[in-house]
């Protein structure tokens, strides 16, 4: 079976022949390749070379082309800090008002800002590996897209003061997600990492999620799946009620935050495949190899009945220990083979 066939088996809640193992390792990848983060994302060829290097050395079953959270919002007027040593971050938002919303246009992913770098990296990695590795693009889900365009505080304020404005902004954010996500699928992405962390129960109630975030996210998910891609939904969620609500968006696989008890999540959300949730800081950065092996072993035994991929629960920092990442994937593959009586 190819990696893509193994991922599909997990999506179908079945048991793959080989367990896919992923890692949210973009910052670590840059350091491993002896690059600053700014150097890593400067052009598509550097991203391609770095991802191929890291896959060769560690054996991950995907390429995670997240790049940064500001990618599709910078062309809209979001101010982004330029510092080669860190992931690009927002330092200023355009005004959240009717006039400014009316002015916004969905960027052309083939020509605007840094979006062509993402498309070219996807195309290059797909050309290099085909179905041997799951090429994974990224986009913000609509609710999170609004907060990343206009700011978190302004968005939550406007939900009270001018809900119609927020609803119209959600329509724009949905159009934005669809246009840029579908362009990535056309370029060769097997999957889209759909980030909706600002719609987690860390920030909103289940009722607010149902009112504002659920249906737009579900429509985007449906469109990406119809286009032939997997959808990996990530809210960094650890609350059981939140996870049950987010599963209603019908992703291919739902990513679970690092503090959640995966066996309990699997029992509570039996109809959606899961991925997760090795602790990136407590274990991969600060823990010992034996501690990493212990948690990975536990997760693989939860995954043994199918419908689950091993991944880190959140982004792996630059300071993570290389041997710990090797231990994570080596242990996952070893315990999987033991669990299924394979040599």
Q: Which CATH architecture has domain 3-339?
A: Alpha-Beta Barrel (3.20)
Chain centroid offset of residue 244 CA: 18
Q: Is the peptide bond before 277 cis (omega within 30 degrees of 0)?
A: yes
The pairing of strands 230-237 and 191-195 is parallel
Structure token digits, residue 116: 């062509």
Nearest 5°: phi and psi at 190? -75, -25
Which pLDDT tens digit goes with each residue over 85-132?
889 999 999 999 999 999 999 999 999 999 999 999 999 999 999 999
- Domain range list for the chain: 3-339
| Rounded-to-integer distance, Cα 101 and Cα 121, Å | 31
Q: Which of 282, 234, 316 is nearest to 30 (CA)?
A: 316
| Rounded-to-integer distance, Cα 135 and Cα 131, Å | 8
- pLDDT given for residue 342 in this prediction: 67
pTM, full prediction: 0.97
Structure token digits, residue 59: 């054996």
Which pLDDT tens digit goes with each residue over 185-198?
999 999 999 999 99
- pLDDT given for residue 83 in this prediction: 85
> What count of other Cβ atoms lies within 10 Å of the Cβ of residue 270?
11
Q: Which of 250, 337, 338, 343 is nearest to 17 (CA)?
A: 337
The pairing of strands 79-81 and 62-64 is unpaired
């Amino acid at each position: 079976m190819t990696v893509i066939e193994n991922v599909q088996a997990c999506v179908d809640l079945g048991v793959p022949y080989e367990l896919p193992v992923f890692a949210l390792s973009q910052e670590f990848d840059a350091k491993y390749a002896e690059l600053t983060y700014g150097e890593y994302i400067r052009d598509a060829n550097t991203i391609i070379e770095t991802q191929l290097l890291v896959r060769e050395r560690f054996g991950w079953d995907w390429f995670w082309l997240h790049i940064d959270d500001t990618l599709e919002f910078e062309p809209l007027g979001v101010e982004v800090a330029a510092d080669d040593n860190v992931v690009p971050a927002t330092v200023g938002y355009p005004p959240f008002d009717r006039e400014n919303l009316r002015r916004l246009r969905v960027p052309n992913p083939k020509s605007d800002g840094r979006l062509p770098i993402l498309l070219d990296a996807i195309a290059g990695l797909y050309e290099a590996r085909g179905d041997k590795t799951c090429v994974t693009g990224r986009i913000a889900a609509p609710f999170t897209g609004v907060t990343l365009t206009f700011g978190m505080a302004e968005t939550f304020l406007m939900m009270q003061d001018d809900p119609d404005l927020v609803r119209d902004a959600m329509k724009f954010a949905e159009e934005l997600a669809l246009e840029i996500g579908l362009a990535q699928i056309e370029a060769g992405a097997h999957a889209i990492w759909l980030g909706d962390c600002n719609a987690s129960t860390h920030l909103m109630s289940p009722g607010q999620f149902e009112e504002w975030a659920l249906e737009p996210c579900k429509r985007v998910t449906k469109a990406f799946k119809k286009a032939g891609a997997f959808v990996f939904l990530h809210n960094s969620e650890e609350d059981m009620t939140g996870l049950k609500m987010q599963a209603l968006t019908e992703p291919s696989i739902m990513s679970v935050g690092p503090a959640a008890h995966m066996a309990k999540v699997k029992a509570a959300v039996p109809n959606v495949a899961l991925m997760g949730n090795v602790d990136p800081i407590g274990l991969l950065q600060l823990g010992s190899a034996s501690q990493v092996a212990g948690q990975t072993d536990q997760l693989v035994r939860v995954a043994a009945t199918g419908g689950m991929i091993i991944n880190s629960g959140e982004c792996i920092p630059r300071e993570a220990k290389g041997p710990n990442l090797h231990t994570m994937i080596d242990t996952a593959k070893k315990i999987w083979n033991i669990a299924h009586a394979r040599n």
